[in-house]
Amino acid sequence: MKKIKVGVIGVGYLGNFHAQKYAAMDHVELVGVFDTSIDRAQEIAAACHTRAFADYHELIERAQAVSIVTPTTFHHGVGMECLAAGLDVMMEKPVTVTLDEADQLIELASRQGCILQVGHLERFNPGIMALEHYIDHPLYIESQRIHQFNPRGNDVDVVLDLMIHDIDIILSIVKSPLKAIRPLGSSIVTSSTDVATAQLIFENGCVATVSASRIAQSNVRQLVIHQKKSTLIVDYGKKDITVIERSGAMTAEGYPEEEATHLPFPDQGDALKAELLHFIDAVQTRQQPKVSGVEGRQALALALQLIDEMKEHQVTHNL
């Protein structure tokens, strides 16, 4: 079978990993990388035994698919050029800065018959994938993504930086339109929101509470899904998956009759490798990917709406 010719545009922190994963795939040829820092492109190209391009148009001519891992402000411009050239695109998250930009990418991808996948990596988190089988009708979801401060990523609000991952997961789990949102957030150490919480109320009655922080002292990443007959808990940090099943009856002491099972956290949990293999599979089979441009846009739309409404409640601190 012919190898799929892939390029990576933007090889900073995350793009480096995209390049490494592609370079290690037997059925992929990493034809080259491009970065506005030629030194960085050469460093990554040398490590991945590929070519560094000084002009990304030359890379586009040689590739049939690309990962775009530039800062988000460049996703739209670079993406439009790649799609116009007929390339399949793996776009890092968030898909774009604005909804208009996302719409243009989705429309062009559809017109060109190109694959457009968005890098919502957590969908490929082995903990989440292990739970898929147990999710039927979520009633209440609690998600926490609490991180220590990291100077990278602070060009955007914590909602676009971190919370968007949980927004995407929750939208993919709760198959119902949203009825109301109640977001709150504060800017503490940067000029944009650093801690945020939101209640998402769905038309089917499900409620999700989502919390994100990038100024915590330690990291917590947990997702809890309550259903009538079960509660599902993924603790990504402790690598623990717990399924609590309820019979519906009460014990003689008045507790709900339930049984907890700890599932093994899948070892081979390389979410990025799984995500990029899924993209390559979509390129080969021409099937819609699990996280399409449309789903990337949905997560962006809700994130932007939360940010907008948060502003209404924010107090300017002149301390």
In contact, 54 and 38? CB cutoff 8 Å: yes
Q: Is 168 in the site for ligand NAD (CB under 6 A)?
A: no
Choose which of 32, 79, 119, 185 interacts with ligand NAD (CB under 6 A): 119
Q: Which stretch binds ligand NAD (CB under 6 A): 65-73, 110-118, 234-242, 301-309?
A: 65-73
Choose which of 27, 36, 205, 219 interacts with ligand NAD (CB under 6 A): 36
CA distance 41 to 197: 38
Q: Is 295 in the site for ligand NAD (CB under 6 A)?
A: no
Q: Which stretch binds ligand NAD (CB under 6 A): 12-20, 123-131, 278-286, 289-297?
A: 12-20
Q: Is 219 in the site for ligand NAD (CB under 6 A)?
A: no
If you search the block for the tokens 């957030």, which residue do you land on? 185
Which sign, positive or negative, has the C-alpha torsion 225, 135, 299, 239? positive
Choose which of 7, 10, 32, 126 interacts with ligand NAD (CB under 6 A): 10
Q: Is 70 in the site for ligand NAD (CB under 6 A)?
A: yes
CA distance 27 to 41: 23
In contact, 97 and 72? CB cutoff 8 Å: yes
The two three-digit tokens of residue 46, written as one number: 């040398």
How many CB atoms within 10 Å of residue 228?
10
- Interactions with ligand NAD, residue window 246-285 (CB under 6 A): none
**Crossing angle (nearest 10°) for helices 38-47 and 13-23:** 30
Q: Which is nearer to ligand NAD, 82 or 198 (CB)?
A: 82
Q: Is 92 in the site for ligand NAD (CB under 6 A)?
A: yes
Question: Burial, 54: exposed, middle or buried (Cβ in 10 Å; 0-12, 13-18, 19+)?
Answer: exposed
Burial 253-285 (b: 16+ CB within 10 A, else e): eeeeeeeeeeeebeeebebebbbbbbbbebbee
Query: Which regions of the chain does DSSP assign to beta strands (E)?
Result: 4-9, 28-34, 52-53, 65-68, 88-92, 116-119, 140-148, 178-186, 195-202, 207-216, 220-226, 230-235, 240-250, 256-263
What's the closest the beta carbon of residue 197 comes to ligand NAD, in angstroms? 20
Q: Which stretch binds ligand NAD (CB under 6 A): 3-11, 205-213, 214-222, 227-235?
A: 3-11
Q: Which stretch binds ligand NAD (CB under 6 A): 4-12, 58-66, 140-148, 257-265?
A: 4-12
Q: Is 15 in the site for ligand NAD (CB under 6 A)?
A: yes
Interface with ligand NAD (CB under 6 A), residue total 23
Choose which of 20, 47, 71, 258 interacts with ligand NAD (CB under 6 A): 71
Q: Is 152 in the site for ligand NAD (CB under 6 A)?
A: yes
Using only the alpha carbons of the chain, give its radius of gyration. Answer: 21
What's the closest the beta carbon of residue 195 comes to ligand NAD, in angstroms? 19
What's the closest the beta carbon of residue 283 comes to ligand NAD, in angstroms? 19
What's the closest the beta carbon of residue 118 comes to ligand NAD, in angstroms? 9
Rounded to whole angstroms, the maximal C-alpha distance in the chain is 73
Q: Which residues sit at the interface with ligand NAD, rule CB under 6 A? A: 9-15, 34-37, 40, 69-72, 74, 78, 92-93, 119, 121, 152
